[in-house]
Structure 1
Amino acid sequence: MVSKILSRSAARSLCRAATPVRSQAPQIASRCLHQQSSPITASALHRRPRTQEWSQRRSNPAVALGRRTMFIQTESTPNPDALKFNPNQRVLPESISSSFLEYLSPRSTLAPPHPSPLAANLLNVDGVTSVFFGLDYITVTKDSATPWAHIKPEVFSIITEAMASGQSIVNTVEDKAGESGQQGTEVDTLAYDENDTEVVGMIKELLETRVRPAIQEDGGDIEFRGFHDGQVLLKLRGACRTCDSSTVTLKNGIESMLMHYIEEVKGVHQVLDQEEEVAMKEFAKFEEKLRQQKGVDSVPSTVGKGSLDYVE
């Protein structure tokens, strides 16, 4: 009997002792679950995401995409002093009827009818002597004393900035004083003219279809200045204007082709500007001085009657 009473009292005491344990356990468990399920207290940095940072990240791809669309390719030309830049957009406005514009001095970049801020900036670079705008390319010519390593980075930066800014490359203003500061502002000389004779029309067609594409590929262009007494008068522009092989191009290329297809053509001459004529005369004097110093009279000259670089 005693052992049974003790066992029952022991059982009651055990139940009383177990009751608070069972009542506290769910509370402790609920608090632990609450702490683990909280999205804020579970973070080690205790930081909430900010919407402002996310909006900035979304704007970066658009900026990078805009930069990737601007691409300018550089090409060498047969003239070692001329470099051709090909942006992925049109250079000359469609309102200009000529296929090119050429700027030979800083003054020409400000004079009407087509001043150009880009040409002005390029001619301000030390060593740059002329700037040529084709329909979709730019040719920059330097002097022979300055290496391209000193000029090309700055020229490339100026062209890239001008193209990316979206500003007009060439402007058009009224020419009240009749002063033409640029070369090539008139109507395209190779364009069809109803007043041309049959021979002149054939000459223009051959120059337009066979000659001009090759010269434009080399960073230049060509002008038709007339046809007199069987002689075709032409003017090379851009990289071909100061190229040492321009005479060979006229003689072996253009002249041979025109004489082959048109029997009325007897020869081809290159027309020189006033500044170029002065330079040719000075060069002729220099050659004459060298001949006198060497005592040789049979040294051939590149300037004179009968030469492709001479026009009366």
Structure 2
Amino acid sequence: MIITLQELQEQLRLTYKSERKYKKIPLNAGFFLYLIISVFYRNFAFHLQNMNEIKINIQETANETIIKFVSNSILINGGSYEYNNIDEAKNSPLAQQLFYLPFVKKVFITANFIAIQRYDIVAWSDVEEEVREQIQVYLQDGNMVVKEETATKKDAVEVYAEVTPNPAVMKFGTNKALTQTDVEYKNIDEASKSSPLALAMFNFPFVKEVFISENYISITKYDMVEWNDVYQEVRTFIRSYIQDGKTIIAELPKKETKQNVEIQKENLSETSAKIVDILDEYIKPAVASDGGNIAFQSYDEETKRVSVILQGACSGCPSSTATLKNGIETLLKDMLPNQINEVVAING
């Protein structure tokens, strides 16, 4: 406990009285100095004990199924670990213990916090305090968090699913770079020549087309299934594939290589080059956010027609015609007056 000045004075008085009565110690400055140092040492020891005591605080996240348990001390020496089940958590006694709780779906461990994702069978408000206490007691007892010498450290890979304007296409975004050049595969034969990931995706019977961009994959499905029934399976597969460090694209198809794209742009007319710049700056970012891509194909100087290729979610999208006419065509006409008559998609 912390001793106040008033309590110190009273303790000195009582101690002095007791010592004088039973031990006949004379009152002098040295005796008082001894008492003051003793009390100070006890206060310091109390503070030191509190500083070394591990405390866990609860911190909410943007995802209502995930909550953080933040520690005031270091849990692991750098890196991070993610576990989806008790089998994956063999190198983490703490994570294994947490998976015995029936509502724990996923455990994520970093240097100073433990994030837990729950199943929908409970609300965090009903169990978070018990989990916090369990983690805190576990750590205070000096138990091991992760056997780091035997663990294979992997950077955490996140994959999230997004709906697109095209009901047949789902976008799977990730926090990892996948490719520097957009690549589209219409069938398993195309994929087998260059992309092990796309080839693996075509093993799903409902996958019709695969489009791989810088940090997302757009999957076009057949009408045999609904996305609500299969998107979670696809998301998990993609995340595991990337997490395991497998090859995304072994070799770019010849028509998709960066060198070819640059050579084509160098040979473009002045108007064509301006069209490409406008598409790159104004159109592609918006299209990419919906899981698609638009590529310049040609510009006819006589008819003033712009031909483009739609990829990913844009290909076959019911609203692609309206987007071409009301969005892209209008923008090009405004920015290049008297040079554009129409914009058409050669695969729309």
Distance 1:66 1:132, change over 3 A: same
User: Aligned AA for 1:152?
Assistant: Y
Shift of residue 144, structure 1, vs aligned partner: 2.5
Number of residue pairs the alignment of both structures matches: 206
Over the aligned positions, Cα root-mean-square deviation in angstroms equals: 3.0
Larger RCO: 1 or 2 (CA < 8 Å, sep 6+): 1
| Mapping 1:64-213, distance limit 5 Å | 69-92=156-179, 94=180, 99-111=181-193, 115-172=194-251, 184-185=256-257, 187=259, 189=261, 193-213=265-285
Distance 1:119 1:183, change over 3 A: farther
With normalisation by structure 2, the TM-score equals 0.53
Paired position in structure 1 for 2:117: none
Mapped to 2, the partners of 1:62 and 1:56 lie a distance apart of: 16
Distance 1:131 1:194, change over 3 A: closer
8 Å Cα contact 1:126-1:151 kept in structure 2: no
User: Aligned AA for 1:125?
Assistant: F
Shift of residue 195, structure 1, vs aligned partner: 3.0
Mapped to 2, the partners of 1:268 and 1:66 lie a distance apart of: 50
**Quick one: percent identity of the two aligned structures?**
29
Paired position in structure 1 for 2:70: none
Q: Residues 148-196 of structure 1: CA distance to partner in whole angstroms, max 9, x if unpaired?
A: 13321321122011111012211028xxxxxx5x874465758883332
Match among 340, 343, 346 for residue 265 of structure 1: 340
Give the 3-state SS of the residue equivalent to 1:124 in structure 2: coil
Q: Residues 183-241 of structure 1: CA distance to partner in whole angstroms, max 9, x if unpaired?
A: 74465758883332221121111111011111111101111111012000111100100
With normalisation by structure 1, the TM-score equals 0.59
Shift of residue 79, structure 1, vs aligned partner: 0.8
Bigger CA radius of gyration: 1
Give the 3-state SS of the residue equivalent to 1:57 in structure 2: coil
Match among 298, 315, 340 for residue 226 of structure 1: 298
Mapped to 1, the partners of 2:250 and 2:290 lie a distance apart of: 26
Q: Residues 276-298 of structure 1: CA distance to partner in whole angstroms, max 9, x if unpaired?
A: xxxxxxxxxxxxxxxxxxxxxxx
8 Å Cα contact 1:139-1:220 kept in structure 2: yes
Paired position in structure 2 for 1:246: 320
